Structure formats: C-alpha cells, structure tokens
Structure 1
C-alpha cells in the first residue's frame, strides 16, 4: 500500500472535497490510502475519512504567520516523511507552494499540483507570488493537473510545464444522481414544493465569487414572470446574513430557502428543476456536473469553462446581461421541459468517478 497526502484548506462540503471523497470511496484502498493535511480544525468528512482508513492532520493557516506556517510544515514532514509516497496539493493559485518545496526536501518522490480555479482571491501580493512561483514550478512539482482547460491556462501558462499538464475531470458517483421520478416526488413533498411550483437551486459557499447577490436579482425577476418560482440555496458562508437581509428587503423571503451544508445534495437535486450558477470565476464546479447528471436545466455564467457543458441543456450567459435577461432565458428554457436519465451521457463524457479514479490510481502507483 502507498499513502497519498492531500493538502487543502479543509475537508468540508465544498466541490474540491466532494471530488476527493468520490475518488477516495472508489479507489482500491488496499493499494492506495489517502491522508489529509488541512488548515481548519472543523472537518465535516472527518468521521468518514477515519472509517475509510485515512487520517486528518492539522496545521494553522499561513495567514497566522508565514514563519510559523513553514516551521509547522517542516515539523510535519520530519515526523511523517516515511509514511507518504505522494503529496497532492489542491490549489486555487500558486501563491503558496511551500508544502511541495518541503516535500521535495524530504525526498517525497511524487509531488502533484492540482489547479481548481481560474483566478485569485486576495491581495496584489498573492498575485505576485502566483506569478513568481510559476517561474520555479518545474523545480518543485512532478505532476501538473487541472480541473478544466481554463484552470490549466491560469496555473500553467508560461511555466514551461503547460505541455506536461493534464485535465483531470471532476468525477462523480453517477448512480447517486441518476434521475428518479419517485424520488423527485418524495423530495418535493419534504421541501414543501407544490406541483405547480418551479424550483431553482444553487449549490456553493456563500461568498463573493459565487455571485449569489446577482442570483437573488435574477430570482426577483423570475417572480415577476411567474409567482410560482422558488429558490433553494445549498451551502453556507460569510455572506449568509447579508444575503438574507437583501432577500427580506425585497420581500421575497417566503420564496427563498437556505438549506445549509448538506450531505444529501444528490437526493435534493431530484426535486429541483433548474440550477443557476452566475459565478464571477470558477475552475469547473463539481455541482454543475452533478446537476447535469441529475438532468437539471443549467444556466451558468460564461466565465466558467466550456468543458462544463456535458448536456445540451446547459446554457452559458454573460454577466454583462441584466438580471431580467437571465430570468427570461431561464423561464424560456424551462417551458415544457421533461427530465431523463443522463447516466450514459456522463459516462461517455468521462465524468464517471470510476474512470477518473482509475486514471489517478495508476498515476499514484506509477
């Protein structure tokens, strides 16, 4: 057995975490085991990880002090370097790659950098560090992954590593998302969705990049077209209270439900009709793959890679369009639409977790 150390902020219910856990559940754990190095002491997947044979290690984040951060990473590898044959860093940018620098120093042979975004949140210094680390990336990492072509360009252009980088699809467990009419009825009853109501959903952390404030503007316009629209928001984050205040000021609180962080997103999607995803930027959201696997109508911003389009029922719109424009397009797409089983399509497009996991397993073992 070899052990792979996955490095990221936390193991909660975000898209990156879903992708990793999907892989972890499917991979041959007699040959490959996962451990996790995180910066958040609260991890929703902690119990399942322990049950699968993995461990979660915690070190304080870099924003609490760069010197202490580096010291903690060095101490970690001093204590655990014999345990790992690979380090897999999941990152939105190259502003912090010290964990791979340390992994090389401690002779861990396989060092993977995995791009999951197409831009950066943070100060100008973070962007400068991102560009600087591009120039030395080939001396640090051995493998270069990205979730989409746009993420690939963001992370690896001008590094001399772009030609060696490859896109790893965000695989999902297809059987969990296959459309089922009976389950749809059950979920709609649980959520209080009437037969004549149209359920719009959004899955994501409540943060600026997800652009939920614009989503609420779109929903307000949908309500003027048809008062039977409802909005369900799955996720949590720092902007929740601000979004709730906006919803109350628009007097649409009776039509909007915050469902929080959920482990049953695959069940909930059965009951919805459309996912709206107006992000400012993204890599390739796992939620969009899941929505298409459930055969939801998907309307998303064109800032997201075209690789996210698996189904013909996915439409990209510009964020320069008005909320009214978005609402009219959504309402038009939903008119008379029927759901179907998209399992075969997801498999054909290479987003099956089984396919993705076999690819990663071979890389780890090689």
Structure 2
C-alpha cells in the first residue's frame, strides 16, 4: 500500500471500461490483489530482479510476448529500470512508458555509478516519461531531460473533513480529549520515524497527546521497541483503508521524510483540511494550500514541538475546491494519463 501502488490503483479505479490495467509484480499477495481482479485485471508474478535478474528478464519478456501487450508502464526511481523496459521491448511492446516514483534513494556508490551509466540508454528506450513532481522527474531522468508532469490525483470528495467520522474514530481508538499527531507511511529509513519520535517525545512532556502511526514496514519492530516506556501514547494502526476518516480524527499531520517524490499522504491531508508540518527536503510542489509549513530536519525536535504548539488552535475548513482548481481531481488526472500513455483524448 505504498505511494506507487496507491497511485496506480487510483488510476485503475477511474479508468473507463474500455481500458484495463494488468500488473506484473515480484511479491506475494498484496493489499490490492482482490480489488484488481474485481476490476477485471490480471496479476502476473515474476522473480525479483535483484535476486534473479536473468529469470526476471525472461519472465517479463515472455508475459509481454504471450499476451501481446503494446503498452507497458514501468514504475521506478532510477535508470536500473532500463532492463525491464528492454525485456518488454524484446517481448513486442511498442510503447514503453516510465513513471518516476521518488526524488532520491539510498543507493550505494556502485549503484549510483551504474545508474549514471544507464541513464542515456534508459531515456532513449522510454517512449513516454512521467513524474509526479519536477524533483522526482529530474532525479530519475536527469535535469536536462524532458518529461511530463502527472499529478497524484485523488477522489477529492471522499477526503472532505467529516466531524461525525472524527468523533467515531476518536472514540474507537480511545483518543478522545487528546491532541492527535498523525503520520501515514511505510516504516522505512526514508520516512524518518526515529526523528518523528524525537519530536513526539518533546510534545508529550507538555501536552496530553497521542501519536497515530499508519503503515507497516521493515522498521516497525524497532520503532515499537523504542516506545515501550510510553507505548500507550503511540497508536500503531497497521495498514488502513479508511484514510479519510483517520485524517479527520487527527489534529496535525507531521511528515519529516528525508526525501519524497510527491507524497500522496500530504495531498490527502490537505484535501481533508488537516494542517501539516513537513520536512523542507520534500518537493515544494506539494505546497498546494496554506495548510503546510516546512521545517528542516536539521533543526532540533524542540523547534518542531514549538511549531506544533502554534498549530493547535487552527480551525478545520474544506480545501477540496482549491485542489480541484489545481488539477488534483482524479477524473482530470485520468484524462491526462490516457492522453500521455495511449495518445488518445477522452
């Protein structure tokens, strides 16, 4: 249920019936699997490229060839995706599209060198290049390379602030009469949960507050271990599908990531009218409303705590119309998606 998967599913749900999206993955059954099947899509599994590169290449080529796919969309951060595009081309695909997913990564020196070598052939083989922000596009394709911006759109009406849902969720999670700081994201280095806990430790010294964490990931156990002495104040929600309701239950969204391409969750929070405190390393294109304040993660957690105190009394209002005007409604994004990928107009 990461950002890339969520983006694809938002598109998939809103595609006209004359289009279908199938998926090639290297994982076991995922969160969206049953929904993909209900929408008429097929799911193919291939070996993980990093573990079995030759088997992965052959399997990808065979799927594209056997099922006569003309259009392929590859989601990736770096030019290492070239090999998947090459496999698809050898399998007969004529339209090789790429969507950038991030604005940085934790690659080693060797991986960075390989990416730099592959960038030219990667850009040459891709017929359509898409990114959610300028920062993400430049990171994946290069600063002097042309690409198309495609917003991380939402079914905006679903994200309107709902007072009844706020009260219901707060009662369900036993967070009534508390100040709730929220975060949605995979428990990984990129999301910087350790620093988020540093901030919350400052807040809890002064206020009756709760930290609501939504997501799973490889660092979940480490984070749970760290909060053992105040575990009742940190709520681990796991993966959740009722994100609009959970956003309504929060009082402030705090997002101190090291890097992001164009974070879905920050857009969702703005649609809900939820004030956001985010790191200044995130692309400035996420500043869609006056709800966001950026702070450096080089600053002390106590400074973030002071900023949180300043946001405590903010009244919740709707921002759906503002985001619609800026092109973030999913129906408009799907029209752009179809025109970029299929070169057709709805």
State the match for 1:99 in structure 2.
Answer: 84
Shift of 1:63: 2.0
Q: How many residues are aligned here?
A: 343
State the match for 2:247 in structure 1.
Answer: 269
Indicate if the aligned counterparts of 1:90 and 1:114 stay in contact, CA closer than 8 A. Answer: yes
State the match for 1:71 in structure 2.
Answer: 58
State the match for 1:233 in structure 2.
Answer: 213
Structure-1-length-normalised TM-score? 0.91
Indicate if the aligned counterparts of 1:179 and 1:342 stay in contact, CA closer than 8 A. Answer: no
Q: Distance in 1 between matches of 2:131 and 2:216?
A: 25
State the match for 1:308 in structure 2.
Answer: 286
State the match for 1:18 in structure 2.
Answer: 6
State the match for 2:107 in structure 1.
Answer: 122
Indicate if the aligned counterparts of 1:302 and 1:317 stay in contact, CA closer than 8 A. Answer: yes
Over residues 182-233 of structure 1, what are the superposed CA-to-partner deviations in whole Å (9 max), with x where a residue is unaligned? 22111111111123x111111010011110011001000011231x110000
Q: Any gaps of 5 or more consecutive residues in structure 1?
A: 1-12
Shift of 1:17: 1.2
Indicate if the aligned counterparts of 1:172 and 1:353 stay in contact, CA closer than 8 A. Answer: yes
State the match for 2:133 in structure 1.
Answer: 148
1:108 paired with 2:93, answer yes
Indicate if the aligned counterparts of 1:179 and 1:270 stay in contact, CA closer than 8 A. Answer: yes
State the match for 1:56 in structure 2.
Answer: 43
Q: Distance in 2 between matches of 1:303 and 1:17?
A: 23
Q: What SS does structure 2 have at the residue aligned with 1:33?
A: coil
State the match for 1:286 in structure 2.
Answer: 264
State the match for 1:174 in structure 2.
Answer: 156
Indicate if the aligned counterparts of 2:64 and 2:92 stay in contact, CA closer than 8 A. Answer: no
State the match for 1:9 in structure 2.
Answer: none
Q: 2:186 aligns with which of 198, 205, 209?
A: 205
1:352 paired with 2:302, answer no
Q: Distance in 2 between matches of 1:122 and 1:157?
A: 16
Indicate if the aligned counterparts of 2:131 and 2:150 stay in contact, CA closer than 8 A. Answer: yes
Q: Any gaps of 5 or more consecutive residues in structure 2?
A: none
Q: Distance in 2 between matches of 1:75 and 1:188?
A: 50
Indicate if the aligned counterparts of 1:114 and 1:144 stay in contact, CA closer than 8 A. Answer: yes
Q: Distance in 2 between matches of 1:263 and 1:204?
A: 13
Q: What SS does structure 2 have at the residue aligned with 1:64?
A: coil
Q: What SS does structure 1 have at the residue aligned with 2:265?
A: helix
State the match for 1:190 in structure 2.
Answer: 172
Shift of 1:121: 2.5
Shift of 1:352: 1.1
Q: Distance in 2 between matches of 1:63 and 1:138?
A: 21
Q: What SS does structure 1 have at the residue aligned with 2:21?
A: strand
Indicate if the aligned counterparts of 2:82 and 2:121 stay in contact, CA closer than 8 A. Answer: no
Q: Distance in 2 between matches of 1:328 and 1:216?
A: 15
Q: 1:224 aligns with which of 183, 196, 205?
A: 205
Q: Distance in 1 between matches of 2:23 and 2:30?
A: 11
Q: What SS does structure 2 have at the residue aligned with 1:175?
A: helix
RMSD (CA atoms):
1.4
